[in-house]
Structure 1
Amino acid sequence: MLRTQRALRVLGPGDLDEVTGLLARDPVVNVVADFRARTTRLEPRWLGGEMWGYYEDDELVSVCHSAANLIPAMATPEALERFAERALRRGPTCAAIVGRSEDVDVLWERLGPEWPTPRDIRAGQPHLEISSAPLVEADPQVRRSTLQDLDVLYPACVAMHTEEVGVSPECNGGGPIFHAGVTQLVGTGRSFVRIDDGRVVFKAELAAVTPHACQVQGVYVAPDLRGTGLGKAGMAAVVTHALREVAPVVSLYANGYNAPALKVYERVGFRQTATFTTILF
């Protein structure tokens, strides 16, 4: 009887087409891993870590992005076992594990007993998509950010990150890196903002962009203006811009306990297509 040959190896630039071809089987859910592969071309110096590939009979069937975040994609049960083994050998080097709940749960069963206690485990995060015009009117004052906006935009980005993650991105000397990331998003046209009277009242970014999809992150409404409709109209504007100029599908994932945000996304026209889990360290 023939036996399936299985192997895990670290992928490189020569594997890029094979990786993007695999991720294209579920391109919206896998948009972040796909984006990282495309933008770094799997060059280790740009990836900031590794991309692992799991093969069966010389066919790539699963990958795992292992850099700032650990992200399994198209993961089979056998691949998850091997990914966990490699992660245990390398030790805890990531800030988060994120992906489909069924994949992250399996990884954490193996990693949890030996890795540090996480700051938070956010299970049941709806992954949402929209590929048609928003169901509500877009805010005409939401526009792409410019580098001239950085002085007022950056504090809003810090506030949003701190509120969402629970830790300021400027802690432990992280300010310059975070500022550089915000600047890059603005410079590449992936930051959207509404500024009223010199302050940011709404903002959002496209964290990942591929030919197949883009993913929204960092949605923020000034605290004193929440519940006024700014978030709904602002998201409609971001979706309109993105569908027209960036990608054919817009996605995001949100905490399951954030009922107000989920209601906004539903009214805009987003629909759930998967469930994610994020483990933060």
Structure 2
Amino acid sequence: MGGAVLRTTTHVRPLTPSDLTELHALLDRDPLVNLFVRNRVDATKLQTRWLGGQVWGYFEDDVLVSACHAGANVVPVQATPAAIEAFAERAVADNIRPSSIVGPRDAVLPMWKLLEPHWGPARSPRIDQPFLVLERDSRLRPDPRVRPVVLDEFDTVYPACVAMFTEEVGVDPEVGNRSGYRARVAQLISQGWSFAIIEDGEVLFKAEVGAAAPYACQLQGVYVRPDLRGRGIAAPALAAVVEQVRATVSPIVTLYVNDHNTAARRAYERVGFRHTTTFASILL
């Protein structure tokens, strides 16, 4: 006689503060790649009123196997093929409309294939984004002009933030939610996460820490004023950001970049960043 076939039971549900220990263990399986979600979880403790969305958990026999941040950004975490399918079904059923799907390419692209009939076409699919890591200070001489931005300089820095966001994302962040974007820029400055070269009231270079945990952080918004590009400003300035961030925020610095942005990739390589995995972003 044959033995009974044991079937795995699966389900997806929103995670709550009681799931934090299990979720932290899941995030810690790849802490650098999962940094954005770890930052959101640490900041909100999965309290819905602060999260601005949900974090879904995919369970097999009541064990948390995968997760997915479902807010303005959909971000899969350690997502298995079965979890990707379950998260896509949940996203369609809940009728959420994020601005992007972001994360490891081997999870984002299969998820997008399932969601594209419902959410497509993508405004900007970015399917090859090297994820870069630097665990030490750069060997480049840091630009001594780089320093943390202070809140009194908000009006000086804010136009550069808008310009960079518009250039990179393809939409004006002031359209639709101007106060929200202004608040986010002010928050980064207040946290000591905004760095710039400012001369004669003009921003020549700037970059921010977009997410951080005690062990690592992620840079975003790297910008050189257009008329100064091609002059070798970015790499020494980034070396200074890395040095200051490692001293004041977290010891490991990460970021991801579009594969076609060869100038930026050269600058990151000069600073010492190494390519460890590949992300993808589907901008909707």
Q: Name the TM-score, length of structure 2 as normaliser.
A: 0.96
Describe how 1:267-278 pairs up with structure 2 within 5 A: 267-278=270-281
Per-residue deviation, 1:92: 4.1
Describe how 1:26-37 pairs up with structure 2 within 5 A: 26-37=30-41
**Match 1:68 to one of 53, 64, 72:** 72
AA at the equivalent of 1:171: V
**Contact 1:91 1:115 survives alignment (8 Å):** no
Give me the identity figure in percent.
49
Secondary structure of the corresponding residue to residue 49 of structure 2: helix
The answer as to 2:127 corresponding to 1:123 is yes
The answer as to 2:190 corresponding to 1:187 is yes
Cα distance between partner residues in 1 of 2:6 and 2:205? 59
Per-residue deviation, 1:19: 1.1
The answer as to 2:218 corresponding to 1:215 is yes
Structure 1: tracts of 5 or more residues without a match: none
**Contact 2:109 2:127 survives alignment (8 Å):** no
1:94 maps to 98
The answer as to 2:27 corresponding to 1:23 is yes
AA at the equivalent of 2:72: A
Cα distance between partner residues in 2 of 1:155 and 1:91? 34
**Match 1:85 to one of 85, 89, 107:** 89
Which structure has the larger Rg over C-alpha atoms? Answer: 2
1:251 maps to 254
Describe how 1:231-250 pairs up with structure 2 within 5 A: 231-250=234-253
Per-residue deviation, 1:5: 2.6
1:56 maps to 60
1:154 maps to 158
Cα distance between partner residues in 2 of 1:243 and 1:3? 48
Cα distance between partner residues in 2 of 1:128 and 1:103? 18
| Aligned pairs, number | 280
AA at the equivalent of 2:266: K
Q: Name the TM-score, length of structure 1 as normaliser.
A: 0.97
Deviation per residue, 1:241-278 (Å, 9 max, x gap): 12222112100001111000000000100001111111
The answer as to 2:118 corresponding to 1:114 is yes
In terms of mean alpha carbon deviation, does 132-141 or 147-156 score higher?
132-141
Per-residue deviation, 1:160: 0.4
Deviation per residue, 1:112-159 (Å, 9 max, x gap): 011132211011110000001212111111111100110100000000
The answer as to 2:33 corresponding to 1:41 is no
Describe how 1:122-141 pairs up with structure 2 within 5 A: 122-141=126-145
AA at the equivalent of 1:221: V
1:144 maps to 148
The answer as to 2:230 corresponding to 1:227 is yes
Describe how 1:164-203 pairs up with structure 2 within 5 A: 164-172=168-176, 174-203=177-206
RMSD of Structure 2 on Structure 1 (CA): 1.0
AA at the equivalent of 1:145: V
Cα distance between partner residues in 2 of 1:214 and 1:252? 8
Cα distance between partner residues in 2 of 1:120 and 1:273? 24
Cα distance between partner residues in 2 of 1:89 and 1:79? 15
Per-residue deviation, 1:17: 2.1
In terms of mean alpha carbon deviation, does 264-273 or 224-233 score higher?
224-233
Deviation per residue, 1:216-254 (Å, 9 max, x gap): 000001111112222111110111112222112100001
**Contact 1:8 1:82 survives alignment (8 Å):** yes
Cα distance between partner residues in 2 of 1:32 and 1:277? 14
The answer as to 2:108 corresponding to 1:104 is yes
Structure 2: tracts of 5 or more residues without a match: none
**Contact 1:92 1:115 survives alignment (8 Å):** no
